Structure 1
């Protein structure tokens, strides 16, 4: 329902602005940005001074819905006096949410912020935009200068990003200096070591006060990556709770090591709520073999899926055929 606005004054004007901001926020949460914009335009049209909260709600709505061109347009016409740390951070978060292609826009906007404005939320939002080690180190220096090195969320972001960029030693230094850690901190460190130093990953894993499903997935994935299949299976059976990623790790791990029969047994153990996971996992296996140029292995997995297609867990879907048809085409062209 479209909101009807009329000319108002004084206290009534303040009530209308507050109500309008709530409506904008609600529309944005539903992805109805055109309706949200109409409310903002309506406020301006009847001469009501739009407060910072209304601008922020609108810009944050565009950012959350990945409409960054419109968010930037609105940000550009927003009165400079109404821009605050929440507005700037909403824009930065929006660019980061759009992925690596927009990372430079997030960083550029950060460096345009008034020097007194960035807070710990801004830095936590910005860290995923650091795609190069030098960039991350520069942002880390600013974090230290501003005194946010003790903030849990900022530190978690630093640990994750340093590890992602291959600086596991620096990630560990940040981790060791943390005054407070949560399961995210521990899991980030376990996942970092899981691919390069399984012994240390296991040592850290068993120190986690309350590992969650992501923690278990990280260490099981590490075991599979290094070929310790029996250890991975043991940990898998010890998990208090599993999710789709857990099953995917095991199925893909078995199949990539030629243990197709073992992988086939896993879907039978899956809860009925995870019926689509097996197909996704098998598609991942096919894609992995195809990317490595092992077309015959990819097609062998597909033939297994066809053989077992009566099971909902194994029935090929449209993605499966998208993956295998080019392989059959390549084989035919070589004959």
Structure 2
């Protein structure tokens, strides 16, 4: 082979040699063969004479990610006056992610006196966008203008990408508006910039302008548009995007399917997402992940876990994203069995557990009533490797379980380790102080926010209002709301309304409720809570008005559901369920439990049921609350050496709270209840919340 190559070099002209070797290099698909060709070209001296062949070899080395060899070819060739060869080397660096090297090489090019052209600038600007070096990018922009390439469509498109990639969207828009000619790529780049900056409304407005100018939407544009609609949570526009994709056969593109699944998930349109998923011609791993995320985002954790089982049947290998979603699903339903299964699956399949996934697993165990395992996992990571998310997870976990002092200890520890608290840290620590009644400590943490340049938002204020309200400091809580720099949202007013319910402050409750009815007119929970405030003050007229108002709006009180895990299955109980083969035994156990509790001094709290019911019926309704039925089920089926773990979708009522304390003493059982706000650990007649919830 080598003899034949040398023969060609001796007999043919440079043009013929170029053509011959050009074909050979283009067909070269392996690195060893490319190295042989390079050796021949170097030995014969052709590499020094032919800029064209040198460029071909540089491109091939770059394709194999051998940039040092590509650079040696560049050095061997006469490049003193050839911007073409410089651009080829720049392309190799930029397209393979060697952005720092690309920018350094561009500087060397300018020092060598080589003038850049419209092929040079896109590669340099692409590297600026990836490395986020806006200062260098602006300098390159100046050279674009100075060299007269400011009207080149590809250079302008690269400038738009560079500015938007560096987060300077307004400057990107200035370049875009000045462009004399735009193609669909330019429009899509600008729309994508707004979408990535979470300015969905502007992205969609620009899409309208693009269509007005007669540009057809391709699948890349649809992916961006679907993401923008998802940000806005606009289901109607989401269906329009889906319909457009169907009409134009764009759902044949896998990225379009994935983006529409994600869009429907964010819009809460699970059934539409399921339809897209079922009819997808090709389901890649990211497609499965998108559907799993859709379920989890919309509170359908069990469906997500079932879909994962299907995923395994189809031999689709999960990745870190898959298991991160599944860990979130387990945390949502609070199933320790599922949590352990997913954790074991991750280990058995050698899925890399980075710190993000590690933190998520710790959070999962904390939310599955197993704080001990979460804490043990944190101790397996060297102290200097824990990040702010690790501390946030543990602080939140301690707070949810009522261990406010331990949360404060961790908060102080992270500061000592020079890990700066962020806005999530302060939400977690303020919530922990609220649940533990640590008012002074919570106030101190709130004041410390400014030391770490964290501006309080509505979530921080809601924690403070909750903290002050639980302590009975309602006037101070209301003053804090009135002095907020931003408009209070429903979380803030909801915290105040709950506090007013606790302390019977009807007048202030009216203020909170009126604001809530304006902010969230379809939220039935606020109507029920205000109705309870009126019922506690025996204002039956206002109770009736609120109920009538709810009826007219078609609102219903959310159904309470209590879950308990047994034999790797979740068993659900609603209040006052009909008897069947399972609940018949549960009712018998529950009735015996009430007898035992009354002997120990239990008196039912009848304030937990509606006023317009006879006392005898009220007692029966209280006895058959879902969490009590779940507890009776646990007493029958769960071994005495194990804790009984119950999850409720609403706040645990005061009567059940009192009853559970007595059960833990009378039956000598440990009971862990997770309600919508926190965990309650019942043991020896006491609760971890110290009756402060």
Partner residue, 1:148: 149
Choose between structure 1 and 2: higher helix proportion. 1
- Asked if the contact 1:286/1:298 (under 8 Å) is kept, the reply is no
Partner residue, 2:200: 198
- Counterpart-to-counterpart distance in 2, 1:286 and 1:139: 44
How many Å apart are 1:161 and its aligned residue? 1.9
- The reply to whether residue 22 of structure 1 matches residue 16 of structure 2 is no
Pair 86,260 (structure 1): closer, same or farther in 2 beyond 3 Å? same
Which structure 2 residues correspond to residues 128-207 of structure 1 after superposition, within 5 A? Answer: 128-130=126-128, 131-194=132-195, 195-207=197-209
- Counterpart-to-counterpart distance in 2, 1:107 and 1:191: 25
- The reply to whether residue 241 of structure 1 matches residue 242 of structure 2 is no
How many Å apart are 1:207 and its aligned residue? 2.3
- Counterpart-to-counterpart distance in 2, 1:288 and 1:134: 40
Across the aligned residues of Structure 1 and Structure 2, the Cα RMSD in angstroms comes to: 3.3
- Counterpart-to-counterpart distance in 1, 2:238 and 2:15: 60
How many Å apart are 1:77 and its aligned residue? 3.2
- Counterpart-to-counterpart distance in 2, 1:139 and 1:319: 43
- Asked if the contact 2:49/2:78 (under 8 Å) is kept, the reply is no
- The reply to whether residue 106 of structure 1 matches residue 102 of structure 2 is yes
Partner residue, 2:231: 225
Among 53, 65, 86, the alignment partner of 1:88 is 86
SS at match of 2:27: helix
- Cα deviation, 1:61-91, whole Å, max 9, x if unaligned, reads 112332212212322333444x622221121
Which structure 2 residues correspond to residues 111-122 of structure 1 after superposition, within 5 A? Answer: 111-113=107-109, 114-122=112-120
SS at match of 2:283: helix
Provide structure 1 residue ranges, at least 5 long, that are not aligned to the other structure: none
- The reply to whether residue 276 of structure 1 matches residue 278 of structure 2 is no
Pair 221,287 (structure 1): closer, same or farther in 2 beyond 3 Å? closer
- Asked if the contact 1:309/1:316 (under 8 Å) is kept, the reply is yes
SS at match of 1:184: helix
Tell me the matched-pair count. Answer: 318
124-133 or 15-24, which moves further after superposition? Answer: 15-24
SS at match of 1:319: coil
- Cα deviation, 1:181-227, whole Å, max 9, x if unaligned, reads 10111111122223543333222212222222222222221011121
- Asked if the contact 1:306/1:316 (under 8 Å) is kept, the reply is no
TM norm structure 1: 0.82
- Counterpart-to-counterpart distance in 2, 1:77 and 1:256: 55
Partner residue, 2:53: 54
- Asked if the contact 2:270/2:294 (under 8 Å) is kept, the reply is no
Pair 3,304 (structure 1): closer, same or farther in 2 beyond 3 Å? farther
- Asked if the contact 2:163/2:171 (under 8 Å) is kept, the reply is yes
- Counterpart-to-counterpart distance in 2, 1:80 and 1:192: 37
- Asked if the contact 1:24/1:40 (under 8 Å) is kept, the reply is no
Larger radius of gyration: 2
- Counterpart-to-counterpart distance in 1, 2:87 and 2:303: 46
106-115 or 210-219, which moves further after superposition? Answer: 210-219
- Asked if the contact 2:160/2:173 (under 8 Å) is kept, the reply is yes
How many Å apart are 1:11 and its aligned residue? 4.7
How many Å apart are 1:4 and its aligned residue? 2.3
- Counterpart-to-counterpart distance in 1, 2:66 and 2:299: 42
152-161 or 16-25, which moves further after superposition? Answer: 16-25
- Counterpart-to-counterpart distance in 2, 1:103 and 1:111: 12
TM norm structure 2: 0.42
Partner residue, 2:65: 66
Partner residue, 1:265: 275
SS at match of 1:4: helix
How many Å apart are 1:244 and its aligned residue? 1.5
- Counterpart-to-counterpart distance in 2, 1:268 and 1:32: 41
How many Å apart are 1:37 and its aligned residue? 3.0
SS at match of 2:6: coil
How many Å apart are 1:106 and its aligned residue? 0.2
- Asked if the contact 1:40/1:54 (under 8 Å) is kept, the reply is no
Pair 50,116 (structure 1): closer, same or farther in 2 beyond 3 Å? closer
Provide structure 2 residue ranges, at least 5 long, that are not aligned to the other structure: 328-341, 344-360, 377-693
Partner residue, 2:4: 4
Pair 21,306 (structure 1): closer, same or farther in 2 beyond 3 Å? closer
- Counterpart-to-counterpart distance in 2, 1:34 and 1:300: 52
